[in-house]
Structure formats: structure tokens, C-alpha cells
């Protein structure tokens, strides 16, 4: 490119704005666009595309005319559409807009007639014909901006811009174009200008266009020719996104990127500017903004010489699909000069373009990734080129692997930053995506990974999560927003913002379910709204498979289900979830104390699938009972026995029960306070405590099952098999026997307490005991659990864990603690992370 033209040294630097067709669909949008450039402090140049859909309509018109079919109806519709816009923009005819458009439409009509009639030289009109839309559009925009009276002039780019066909598309004849523009400016004087995008004139003086998306290219060319201070391309998205938002809901708008990054991403299929468009602004270092006409308040993306090191190594991710791998394998190629030349010469000869190349230092094979529709041609050309070597056994042959995609990570910050490839490939590994071939040039700005086409979306999402999300981002589903579940949601709502800010823990509640319904929300459910949403229109019938699929997702690094039900049906799903890598946290005792096979399946699935299973709250609610036991055992201690009070409900009942109020009334109170199990008979029968004892025993490595526990059942036989409602209605039938028991104990100066015991030989029993007043269990309060661990180290004096052992808040805190323990174990954030770590999905306007 030649140096800048100095014909207007004194002209103030101007700002070039370009509006695409989606920003110019009708008259109101022209007005809105005009308002966006209303900055009298600067000289402005506005480059316009055609109204939305007009270029396609013109191409169709041209086709129709070339075929000799009736083109007039479509022509009339196009004319009418523009005249309607003209009427709205120039109702009083101040700008003579209608007449000017009619003049242009008359020219278009003549050209179509000539083409349809097969007139001599008519073929020369075809290349320029699709550019009429920009010509019409420039008149409309000129009027919207206030026309000549507001010192706006209109420039038809065909009068100044000269281009010719180059190897990479239309190339600008810079000296001619610069000279013509200088002439035009000398005649018109400096000021604001509206310019037709897309159109130009070829070196023979014929109207032509710059090819698809040529308006962006026009804008960049005029930014260069005007030596602009800035170029803004106004479009219908917020800017350049980190990945395709249709595939990655978490995609974020990038605040800035370098020209090189934008070019790399464009090459790999991201919807940013074509590399050809970048060249004219890059050559002069003109900052280029991508902004959204529909959300002008959004800052947009700045593409500039240096994107500014914001600490993020990767700026964007891109996918190229419909590819194949052709691989040449040959032991005899090792160290032989010219093998690569022969292969790529053959591909060139076959007209095949190579997307990615990978060769290991062993030189044993050369792997090329290329377009699927060229794959067979490429394979045959390579096989032919190496036919002799294959026949001699020096080369083993050429293989073709179809259904390939390439994922590319791009960023200037990758240069010299260790660990980028590790994070990319680690993300893919976590999503179980196999990398077929990998390429990174010494420029270090791009790492490309060839993967199976079926894995493409999963790979893109996993890679995006690896770079843009905290490694401690969890997709969370909560089942059972009852007493405990609701308390958990309240606690999450209060704690999540802080956790996110201070520790990078990003827990996203994305699914909620009760026994009948579920809500699955890609964007997340506000914890405080969760219960209400289960009763709203978005709720759907419960389906645990779909629930798990949704929570697992693919675009968030980790998934976790919190089961706050007491349901065996839900607990039965744990092995499948854990095997899929979904972590499970629960206060539900069904799994920990259920059939041994199920318990073993859970441990096995967790080991194989990587999902972690935590159930601290099943024993002692929020107390660190399991944690204490695990610590004792992990540090080499040996468990001799466990005893104490393991039921908050029964502790509370016997703390309160002195015969002054009926036992049944206290049970109802305990239920209302959220201490009891959903069916209080689970507490009164001793089953709940037996479950806890089994859970503890198993944690200590003993294969105890519920049948092995000697359990005293306080529920009268007549109430054991009735349904829950009837049991609650007949609860007072417990009063008399319980009062008699209380009086017997009191007569001996004793108090009733519910105790659990697991001894050294594995004997386990659960039941009510009358204890002397000095016994430690008689000095507890409210729902206190008291758990005594007798171990080799704590043999004379047991280690005691004591405190409230029931209630929604303390239980939810225990559950939440487990969730955080898992989140914290998922790895701290790397020293660098992408700037969008706190930004939720940004939406396409
Ligand atoms: N309360 C406490 O102090 C402690 C409780 N726990 C345990 O916490 C769990 C919850 O107790 P709590 O909150 O009191 O119980 P609740 O009865 O108040 O809540 C249970 C929740 O689970 C849901 N649910 C039941 N069955 C299913 C199913 N098949 N599928 C999906 N959801 C289901 C219920 O939905 P719906 O409303 O539709 O029935 C409800 O939302 C229990 O396992 C309990 O043992 C553990 C330690 C202490
Ligand atoms: N109902 C249970 C709740 C905790 O597991 C109890 O009372 O202990």
C-alpha cells in the first residue's frame, strides 16, 4: 500500500462509520443510525450497505433477467420498498429523494432490460448490478442525516474507488483511488460524507462490487483513504464474541483484540471481519470498533494494533467443520528430504487447500486436515505421488479419516505463556474429547486441535469453560426444596455473590425439582425464586434423566446434584450420576444406609466416573461427625466403638418430655420445627438412628446393614403400617405408653434418652434407656447430638462431637459445606484467566 495521501494535510481527522443492512432495514432504522453518528465535533464519513435483503433481491433479479424470465414484479416490489422508505424520510420532498431514487431505478431497469434482451455488452453490466442497493441506500441515509442543508454530501464510490481482481479477491488500485478521492474532495470541500459501500469501478471503468461482505471492506478502504482516526462498524451484535453463542451460551463479548487475533479468528470461521477487510485499517493502525446499533450503550469490541495485555492468553475459540484428515505414513520417509514437498505439491496440483498440518519430529507421518469435499481428491493425489514408495514398502500408505472438525484457540497472550495448551487439552480431556491431531506454530498465537465431528460442540464448550470460567464453576441442580432444601436455597442466595467474588467459586443453580415437577433453566434459577418457579408455567413433569442431562450440560466444567429428598427412588440414581462425573451431595440417608450392593455401586461409580459423593449431613446434620471419623481413620487411628445420641428429634423430645404435656403434642412441635423426618415414624421407630449408625459403621469400613442393627421401635404396632396421615391423626395413641415409661424412670431419679451404640465386635443397637442424672447425655440441650468415638488413641476418654443435630438451617449448612468442599477441591484458578470470568452470557440483540 502506498503512503498516505497528503492532499488534505489540514483536514481534521475523521471518524468513519459503517452500517450493515440489518441496521438499515427501514426508514426508522435509517433515522436511528443517523442519530448514532450525530457528533458535530468530528468530521464524519458514513459508509452504507444496502437495505436488509436488497443485495440478495438484486442478485435474484439479475439471475431472473439472465434466464429471460419475468423480472418486473420483483423489480416493482424492490422499487416500492425504497419509495416507502423515501416517503417516510422525506415527506415534504425537501431532499428530492423520490426523484433521485426514481432516476437510479430507471438506470437499473434499463440495465435489466439490456441483460434480459441479451443486448451486446450487457454482460458487462452484470458485475455492478448487485451494487445498486448501496446506491439507493446512500440516498436514503443522506436524507436521514439532513442532506446538503446539514452539510452532508453524498459520494458514489464508483466515482473514486478503482479495483481489480487479485489472487485473494478484489484488490484496490490505491494510487488511482487516492488521486480520484483527492479530486473529489478538492471539488466538494471538506465535510461530512455518505458513501456507497460495496461498489467500485474496475480498471476498465466498469461498475463492479467488492464481493460478499464487501461493505465492510469498503469502510476499511475509505478509513484508509481518509486517514481516519477511527472506524466503527455498526452491526446487530454487541461485538466480537469469544465463541459462537449458538453453541456456547457462556460466550462473552470481547472488549478488545489485536488485528492479528481478529485475522486468526476470521480465518477459523468466527464471524468477525474478513482478514482482507482488516488490511487497510491495519496498514494505518486505525482503531476499529464493532458495535451494536440496537444496543449502542454496549461498549463493543475494539480491534487495534495491540489489544492490550489483559492477562488473558486466549481471546477467542473457533470451530471449522466439514473437514477430513489425510495422513501419509512411511517408515522410509524418516530423515528423507523432499517428502513434504512431494505431498504438498501433489495436493496443490489437485487444487486442494490445506487447513492444518501436523508432523511429529519422528517424520514418520505427515497429517493434513483439509475440506471434506476435497478429501478423496487429496487422498488419491497423495497416493499417486507416493505410489512408488508405497510399492517399495518405504511408505505404508495414505489414510483418509472423515468427519473431522478443527477447534482453534487464538490469542496474542498465548505467546510465551506456559500452560495454555495444557488448559486447552485438559478441558478437552475432562469432556472426554479425543484430540486426533494438534498444531501450534512458533508464532504461538493459535493452537489448533483436530477432533471428531461428533465431539465438536462438546469440545468447544469444554474449551470455553476452561478459559473463560472459573475452574470452580459448578452447574447445580437441587432436588427436594422442602424444609432442608428451602433453607439451603436461602443460604445459597446469601452466600453465592461473596463466594464468587472472593474465591472464584461460581455455583450456578440451573435446575430444581420436587416429587412432581422440575424447572430446567439454561440461564440459571435465582435460588430465592426456585420454589415459586416450581409452581409456575415453566415447570414441567419430573424426569430425573432429563434433570441430570441438563445439570451435566457441556458448557460448564462441573456438575453437582444436591438431593434434599428422603426418596429411595432419587438415591437409586446416584451410581448413574456419579459414573457420568456428576458430583452428588445429600442429607438423604437412603443411599448410605440402604442395600449393601447399592452402597458399593455408589463407591464404585464414584471411583470410575470421578463424581464425588458427600453425605456429611446424614449424621448429625451440620456437625462434623463424618469428618471427624474420617480424619481419625485417615490418620491411622483404629475405631473401637461409637455411642451416643444420634437423633435430634428424639433428643429434643426426651429433653422436653416430663409428663406435663402429651408426648404426641411434642412430636407435632418437633415436626413443625423441621426436626423430624418427613415421616416422623422414621425417628420414633429408631430407623433414622439405625441408618446413621450404619452410615458411620460403613464409613469405618464395616459392612454393616440395617438388618444387623438391634432396633427398639417406639411406634405402637397398630400404627406401624398405616399411612402417614392416619398415623399423625392417631399420634395420641403413643401418649399413654410413653407417659408410663417416663414415670417409671422418674421414680428412680433417671431420665429417658435415646442412645445408639456400635461396639468393637460390630454389634449395633438403638433404643431408649433410662439414664442417671449425672450421665453426659442428660446434660445436653434441645436437639443436641452427642457422638463419642472410642478409638485406639481416644480409649480412656472418648473424642466427643456435640451440638444441634437436627433442623433445616443446621442441616442445610452441613449440605452447603459439602458442596463447598467439592467446589474447593476442583482446583484453584490459574494465575491467568480470561477477563470475562465474571460475565454471564451476553445476548445477541
Ligand atoms: N430435617 C432435618 O433436621 C434433617 C433432615 N435430613 C434429611 O434431609 C432430607 C429432607 O428432609 P426435609 O427437608 O425435612 O424433608 P421435606 O419432607 O420437608 O422435603 C422433602 C422434599 O423432597 C421432595 N421429594 C420427595 N420425594 C421426591 C422424589 N421422589 N423426587 C423428587 N423430590 C422428592 C419433596 O417434594 P414434594 O414437596 O413434592 O413432596 C420435598 O421437596 C431427608 O432425607 C432427611 O432425612 C438430614 C438431616 C437432618
Ligand atoms: N430427623 C432427624 C434429622 C436428622 O437427621 C433427627 O431428628 O435427627
Q: How far is the CA of 393 from the centre of ligand 1 (A)?
A: 69
- Catalytic choice (18, 315, 589, 692): 692
Point out the ligand nearest to the CA of residue 685.
2
For ligand 2, is residue 615 a contact (CB within 6 Å)?
A: no
Q: What is the reported pLDDT for 841?
A: 29
Q: Is the CB of 617 under 6 A from ligand 1?
A: yes
pLDDT-above-70 percentage for the chain: 94
In the predicted model, what is the mean pLDDT of the chain?
A: 91
The hierarchical CATH code for the domain 473-612 is: 3.40.50.720
Mean pLDDT across 507-531: 95
If one residue of 480, 485, 590, 648 were mutated to test the ligand 2 pocket, choosing by the most ligand atoms within 8 A of its CB, it would be 648
pTM of the model: 0.70
CA 708 – ligand 2 centroid, Å: 21
Take atom 47 of ligand 1 and give the residue whose Cα is closest. Answer: 621
Report d(CA 751, CA 473) in Å as an integer.
Answer: 50
Ligand 2 pocket member 648 (CB < 6 A): yes
CB atoms within 10 A of CB 725: 8
pLDDT of 237 reads: 85
Cell numbers given for 502: 472472593
Residue of the CA atom closest to atom 17 of ligand 1: 678
Q: Assign 559 to helix, strand or coil.
A: strand
814-840 burial: b if 16+ Cβ within 10 Å, else e: bbbbbbbebbeebeeebebbbbbbeee
pLDDT for residue 4:
41
> Could you tell me the residue ranges of all domains in the chain?
14-235, 316-468, 473-612, 625-806
CA 564 – ligand 1 centroid, Å? 5
Rounded Cα gap, residues 617 and 815, in angstroms: 6
Which pLDDT score is estimated for 555?
Answer: 76
- Per the listing, cell 442424672 goes with 773
> Rounded to an integer, what distance in angstroms lies between the CA atom of residue 45 and that of residue 36?
12
Report which protein residue has its CA nearest ligand 1's atom 30: 515
Grid coordinates in use for 832?
A: 491467568
Name the pLDDT band for 838 (thresholds 50, 70, 90). very low
pLDDT winner (highest mean) among 39-48, 205-214, 742-751: 742-751
Instruction: Decide if pLDDT at 274 tops 80.
Output: no
Rounded-to-5 percentages of helix, strand, coil across the chain? 45, 20, 35
Phi-psi region of 55 (alpha: psi -120 to 50; beta: other; left: phi over 0): alpha
Residue tagged 465492510 (cell numbers): 216
Residue 833 confidence (pLDDT)? 54
pLDDT at 2 > cutoff 70:
no
Contact in structure between 693 and 642 (CB atoms under 8 Å): yes
Lowest mean pLDDT among 264-273, 464-473, 535-544, 667-676: 264-273
What is the distance in A from the centroid of ligand 2 to the CA of 789?
19
Is 261's C-beta closer than 6 angstroms to any atom of ligand 2?
A: no
pLDDT at 197: 97
User: What is the predicted pLDDT for the residue at 623?
Assistant: 98
If pLDDT is split at 50, 70 and 90, which confidence band does 470 have?
confident
Q: Are 74 and 112 in contact (CB under 8 A)?
A: no
Q: Is the beta carbon of 616 within 6 A of some atom in ligand 2?
A: no
Helix (H, G, I), strand (E, B) or coil at 222: helix
Under the banding of pLDDT at 50, 70 and 90, the label for residue 336 is confident
Grid coordinates belonging to 15: 471518524
Lowest mean pLDDT among 73-87, 121-135, 257-271, 800-814: 257-271
Which class would CATH give 316-468?
Answer: alpha beta
DSSP 308-329: ---S-S--EEEEEEEEEEEEEE
Ligand 1 atom at minimum distance from 675 CA: 3
Q: Residue of the nearest CA to atom 6 in ligand 1?
A: 587
Cα(326)–Cα(610) distance, rounded to whole angstroms? 35
Answer yes or no: is the C-beta of 455 below 6 A from any ligand 2 atom: no
pLDDT value at 844 more than 50 = no
Look at residue 218 and tell me whether its pLDDT is greater than 90: yes
For residue 669, pLDDT over 70 is answered with yes
Q: What is the pLDDT of residues 693-744, one digit of tens each?
A: 999 999 999 999 999 999 999 999 999 999 999 999 999 999 999 999 999 9
Stretch 579-588: mean pLDDT: 96
Give the closest residue to 832 by CA, choosing from 473, 467, 367, 394.
467
Residue whose Cα lies nearest atom 4 of ligand 2: it is 806
5 in contact with ligand 2, CB cutoff 6 A:
no
Ligand lying nearest the CA atom of residue 812: 1
Per CATH, the architecture of 14-235 is what? 3-Layer(aba) Sandwich (3.40)
Rg (CA), the chain: 37
Which grid coordinates are listed for 362?
519422528
What is the whole-number distance in angstroms between the Cα of residue 584 and the centre of ligand 1? 15
Determine whether the shortest distance from the Cβ of 812 to ligand 2 is under 6 A.
no
Ligand 1 center from residue 94 Cα (angstroms): 74
Q: Is 143:33 a contact under the CB 8 Å cutoff?
A: no
Per-residue confidence band for 620, with pLDDT thresholds at 50, 70 and 90: very high
pLDDT of residue 265 exceeding 90, the answer is no
Q: Is 481 in the pocket of ligand 1 (CB under 6 A)?
A: yes
Tell me how far the alpha carbon of residue 566 lies from the centroid of ligand 1, in angstroms. Answer: 5
* Ligand 1 lined by 814 (C-beta under 6 Å): no
Pocket test residue of 482, 592, 617, 649 for ligand 2, highest count of atoms within 8 A of CB: 649
Q: Which helix (H) or strand (E) holds 45?
A: strand 43-48
Give yes or no for residue 435 having a pLDDT over 60. yes
Q: Is the CB of 485 under 6 A from ligand 1?
A: yes
pLDDT at position 53: 95
Query: How far apart are alpha carbons 658 and 677 in whole angstroms?
Result: 23
Q: How confident is the model at residue 455 (pLDDT cuts 50, 70, 90)?
A: very high
Helical H segments across 553-614, by residue range: 568-571, 574-579, 589-593, 596-609
> In this predicted structure, what is the pLDDT of residue 544?
98
749 CA distance to ligand 1 centroid (A)?
A: 38
C-alpha 548: how far from chain center: 17
Is residue 692 annotated as a catalytic residue, yes or no? yes
User: What's the pLDDT score for residue 315?
Assistant: 87
For domain 625-806, say whether CATH 3.30.360.10 is its number.
yes
Amino acid at each position: 500500500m502506498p503512503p498516505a495521501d497528503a492532499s488534505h494535510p489540514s483536514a481534521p481527522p475523521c471518524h468513519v462509520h459503517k452500517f450493515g443492512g440489518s441496521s438499515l432495514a427501514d426508514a426508522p432504522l435509517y433515522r436511528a443510525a443517523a442519530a448514532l453518528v450525530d457528533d458535530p465535533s468530528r468530521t464524519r464519513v458514513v459508509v452504507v450497505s444496502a437495505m436488509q435483503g436488497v443485495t440478495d433481491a438484486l442478485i435474484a433479479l439479475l439471475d431472473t433477467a439472465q434466464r429471460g424470465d419475468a423480472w418486473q414484479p420483483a423489480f416493482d416490489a424492490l422499487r416500492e420498498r425504497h419509495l416507502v422508505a423515501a416517503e417516510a424520510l422525506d415527506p415534504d420532498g425537501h431532499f428530492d429523494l423520490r426523484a433521485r431514487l426514481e432516476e437510479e431505478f430507471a438506470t437499473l431497469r434499463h440495465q435489466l432490460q439490456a441483460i434480459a434482451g441479451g443486448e451486446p455488452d450487457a454482460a458487462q453490466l452484470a458485475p455492478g448490478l448487485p451494487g445498486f442497493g448501496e446506491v439507493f441506500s446512500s440516498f436514503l441515509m443522506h436524507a436521514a442525516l439532513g442532506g446538503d442543508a446539514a452539510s452532508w454530501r453524498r459520494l458514489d464510490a464508483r466515482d473514486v474507488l478503482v479495483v481489480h481482481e487479485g489472487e485473494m479477491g478484489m484488490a484496490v488500485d490505491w494510487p488511482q483511488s487516492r488521486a480520484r478521492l483527492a479530486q473529489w474532495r478538492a471539488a466538494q470541500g471538506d465535510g461530512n460524507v455518505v458513501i456507497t459501500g460495496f461498489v467500485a469501478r474496475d480498471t476498465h471503468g466498469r461498475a463492479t462490487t467488492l464481493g460478499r461482505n464487501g461493505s465492510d471492506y469498503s469502510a476499511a478502504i475509505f478509513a484508509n483513504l481518509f486517514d481516519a482516526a477511527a472506524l466503527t462498524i455498526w452491526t446487530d451484535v454487541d461485538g466480537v464474541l469469544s465463541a459462537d453463542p449458538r453453541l456456547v451460551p457462556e460466550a462473552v463479548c470481547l472488549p478488545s483484540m489485536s488485528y492479528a487475533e481478529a485475522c486468526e479468528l476470521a480465518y477459523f470461521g468466527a464471524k468477525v471481519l474478513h482478514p482482507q477487510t482488516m488490511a487497510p485499517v491495519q496498514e494505518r493502525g486505525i482503531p476499529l470498533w464493532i458495535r451494536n446499533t440496537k444496543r449502542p450503550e454496549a461498549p463493543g469490541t475494539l480491534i487495534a494494533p495491540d489489544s492490550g495485555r489483559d492477562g488473558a492468553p486466549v481471546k477467542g475459540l473457533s470451530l471449522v467443520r466439514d473437514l477430513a484428515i489425510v495422513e501419509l505414513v512411511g517408515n522410509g520417509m524418516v530423515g528423507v528430504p523432499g517428502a513434504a514437498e512431494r505431498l504438498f505439491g501433489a495436493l496443490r496440483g489437485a487444487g486442494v487447500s490445506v487447513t492444518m498440518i501436523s508432523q511429529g519430529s519422528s517424520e514418520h507421518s505427515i497429517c493434513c486436515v483439509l475440506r471434506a469435499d476435497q478429501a478423496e481428491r487429496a487422498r488419491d493425489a497423495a497416493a499417486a505421488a507416493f505410489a512408488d514408495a508405497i510399492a517399495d514398502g518405504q511408505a505404508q500408505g495414505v489414510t483418509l479419516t472423515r468427519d473431522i472438525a478443527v477447534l482453534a484457540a487464538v490469542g496474542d497472550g498465548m505467546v510465551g505463556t506456559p500452560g495454555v495448551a495444557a488448559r486447552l487439552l485438559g478441558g478437552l480431556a475432562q469432556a472426554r474429547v479425543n484430540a486426533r491431531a494438534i498444531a501450534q506454530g512458533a508464532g504461538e498465537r493459535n493452537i489448533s486441535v483436530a477432533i471428531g465431528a461428533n465431539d465438536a460442540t462438546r469440545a468447544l464448550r469444554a474449551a470455553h469453560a476452561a478459559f473463560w470460567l472459573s475452574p470452580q464453576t459448578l452447574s447445580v441442580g437441587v432436588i427436594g426444596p422442602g424444609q432442608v432444601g428451602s433453607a439451603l436455597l436461602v443460604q445459597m442466595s446469601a452466600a453465592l455473590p461473596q463466594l464468587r467474588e472472593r474465591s472464584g467459586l461460581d455455583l450456578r443453580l440451573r435446575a430444581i425439582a420436587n416429587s412432581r415437577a422440575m424447572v430446567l433453566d439454561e440461564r440459571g434459577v435465582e435460588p430465592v425464586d426456585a420454589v415459586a418457579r416450581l409452581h409456575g408455567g415453566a415447570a414441567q413433569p419430573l424426569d430425573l434423566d432429563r434433570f441430570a442431562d441438563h445439570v451435566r450440560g457441556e458448557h460448564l466444567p462441573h456438575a453437582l446434584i444436591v438431593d434434599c429428598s428422603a426418596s429411595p427412588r432419587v438415591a437409586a440414581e446416584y451410581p448413574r450420576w456419579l459414573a457420568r462425573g456428576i458430583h452428588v451431595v445429600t442429607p438423604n440417608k437412603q443411599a448410605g444406609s440402604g442395600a449393601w450392593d447399592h452402597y458399593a455401586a455408589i463407591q464404585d461409580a464414584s471411583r470410575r466416573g470421578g463424581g464425588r459423593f458427600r453425605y456429611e449431613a446424614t449424621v448429625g446434620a451440620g456437625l462434623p461427625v463424618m469428618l471427624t471419623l474420617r480424619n481419625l481413620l485417615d490418620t491411622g487411628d483404629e475405631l473401637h466403638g461409637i455411642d451416643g445420641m444420634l437423633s435430634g428429634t428424639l433428643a429434643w423430645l426426651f429433653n422436653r418430655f416430663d409428663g406435663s404435656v402429651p408426648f404426641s403434642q411434642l412430636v407435632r412441635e418437633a415436626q413443625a420445627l423441621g426436626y423430624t423426618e418427613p415421616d416422623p415414624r422414621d425417628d420414633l421407630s429408631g430407623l433414622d438412628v439405625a441408618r446413621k449408625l450404619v452410615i458411620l459403621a460403613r464409613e469405618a469400613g464395616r459392612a454393616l446393614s440395617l438388618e444387623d442393627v438391634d432396633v427398639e421401635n417406639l411406634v405402637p404396632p397398630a400404627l406401624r403400617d398405616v399411612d402417614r396421615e392416619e398415623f399423625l391423626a392417631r399420634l395420641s395413641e403413643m401418649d399413654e405408653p410413653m407417659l408410663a415409661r417416663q414415670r417409671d424412670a422418674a421414680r428412680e431419679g433417671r431420665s429417658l434418652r435415646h442412645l445408639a451404640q456400635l461396639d468393637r465386635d460390630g454389634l449395633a443397637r438403638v433404643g431408649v434407656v433410662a439414664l442417671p442424672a449425672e450421665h453426659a447425655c442428660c446434660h445436653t440441650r434441645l436437639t443436641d447430638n452427642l457422638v463419642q468415638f472410642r478409638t485406639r488413641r481416644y480409649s480412656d476418654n472418648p473424642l466427643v462431637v456435640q451440638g444441634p443435630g437436627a433442623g433445616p438451617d443446621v442441616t442445610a449448612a452441613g449440605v452447603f459445606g459439602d458442596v463447598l468442599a467439592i467446589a474447593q477441591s476442583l482446583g484453584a484458578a490459574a494465575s491467568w484467566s480470561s477477563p470475562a470470568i465474571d460475565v454471564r452470557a451476553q445476548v445477541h440483540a
